[in-house]
Amino acid sequence: MKRASLTLRLSMMFVCAVVAVLVVAGFTFDGFSQHHFKAIDRQAMTEKLESIRQIMDGEAGSADPSEVVLQLQALLGAHQELSASIIAMGGKTFFATSNAVGHPSYSSGDPREDMWEWTAGSHMYRGMKAQVHLANEAEPMTAWLSLDITSHMHFVETLRWWLVIGLAISALVSAGLGWLVALSGLKPVAQVTKVAASMSAGSLKERIPMDSVPRELELLVTSFNAMLARLEESFARLSNFSADIAHELRTPISNLRTHTEVILTKKRAPEDYEENLYSNLEDLNRLSSIIDGMLFLAKSDNGLVLPAKEKIELRSVVEKLFEYYQLLADDTGVKLQVVGHGAVNGDRTMLDRTISNLLSNALRYTPPDCTISVRIEPLGDMISLSVENPGEEIAVEHLARLFDRFYRVDPARRESATNHAGLGLAIVKSLVDAHDGTVGCVSRDGHTTFMISLPAWPADHE
């Protein structure tokens, strides 16, 4: 089943709200109208009953019954819609207007001076009754007043029909206005949809302008623009990565093909073939190193690199690596030193690879007869490990991208050896991220320092 559009739903909600308000307003107006007429009728009959009492008691003039009847006739006879009758205790009629009507009987007590309604034929009446006393008479009489309210009720009925017709017309007009309002209000959403539909690899730079966006959609549009920015950045990095990996793989493959083609041009001595195989082996090792690094980074990007959690003393890891790199350091007169202690919660193999990459990177760029310093120190609930080496400084604009894959700084910092693919620092960042740590680099005053922070081993686990 196809769902209704948002414009239609908003229009229907608008119509329902308008109809609900009009219905409440209509019922309220109808109730007030009826209450108004009832209050007017009550006041009129109450005043007439009070006048009847005064005439019957003799307060308004003579107490003679014939004079009283004349006065009552003058008081009540001129009203076409008002009828009255005064009944004595024995049922004898003392006075009645020419248009007097019958009255309903009540067996539940005397609704003294209360008003009630009834119908007789096609007419509707509203009436009141009260006890009155004729001067010099001991027995009380009952005065009945009836007011023909047929015209009032017809007016109320007509008013109700007009309210119903007005409600129907208002609902139709509200539906049209609601549709226009919804279309106008949803223009930013349509703009977002249009931009999203036009997105392609070549149009990721387009953004939705915030000038005409209503406040309710600011968060949606801001989030959408931020998503486009992330997609643009990711696509740019992917494009650069594809170009970089193609460049890195092209060189060893080209070397392999060239060496093989040259060696096959003519018959050669076994020593020449052996030398060519050794040369090819170097290029194959380089290819293998690149592929291994890429496979590891792919696993890291998909959350498949899960470090073990055990207590690792960083100083022992560093000292063990010093033994491995000592021969390479002795060749250039570089000294290795470590300061501080700290135990972290991590994976020994991964941390060994992380620190090894940092030391290998430092050895490549440290001038002869200088010192590489490794410093370990606690920082709250983290342990900081920094690898500092003297040498040419790295420009500030390169520091933020040092941990990108295949990224190289200017030629002065480019490694000359062919077995380095530019993945070492990217792997370092992936390993540190897998440990919920941070990594950074500072290069100033002739020294470059790589710093990593790792979660410390909890003291309560000792």
* Torsion-angle region of 215 (φ positive above 0: left; ψ -120 to 50: alpha; else: beta): alpha
Q: With 50 as the cut, is the pLDDT of residue 414 above it?
A: no
Three-state secondary structure along 393-426? CCCHHHHCCCCCCCCCCCHHHCCCCCCCCCCHHH
- Tens of pLDDT, residues 325-339: 888 888 889 999 999
Rg (CA), the chain: 51
Give the chain's domains with CATH numbers.
6-104+111-170 (3.30.450.20), 215-301 (1.10.287.130), 310-461 (3.30.565.10)
pTM to 2 decimals?
Answer: 0.48
- Tell me what the mean pLDDT of segment 368-372 comes to: 91
Q: How far is CA 446 from CA 183, 325, 366, 416, 440, in A?
A: 64, 23, 11, 21, 17
Q: Residue 111: its pLDDT value, please?
A: 46
Nearest Cα to Cα of residue 30 among 141, 126, 118, 162: 162
Contact 118, 105 (CB under 8 A): no
Average pLDDT over the chain reads 80
Nearest Cα to Cα of residue 140 among 94, 89, 90, 106: 89
Helix (H) or strand (E) run with residue 131 in it: strand 123-132
Q: Residue 415: its pLDDT value, please?
A: 42
Q: How far is CA 207 from CA 188, 223, 235, 412, in A?
A: 13, 11, 16, 39
DSSP designation for 456? B
- Tens of pLDDT, residues 32-66: 888 888 888 888 888 888 888 888 887 655 667 78
Record the tokens describing residue 440, joined without a space: 């950074």
Q: Which of 287-296, 348-357, 363-372 has the lowest mean pLDDT?
A: 287-296
- Tell me what the mean pLDDT of segment 256-267 comes to: 82
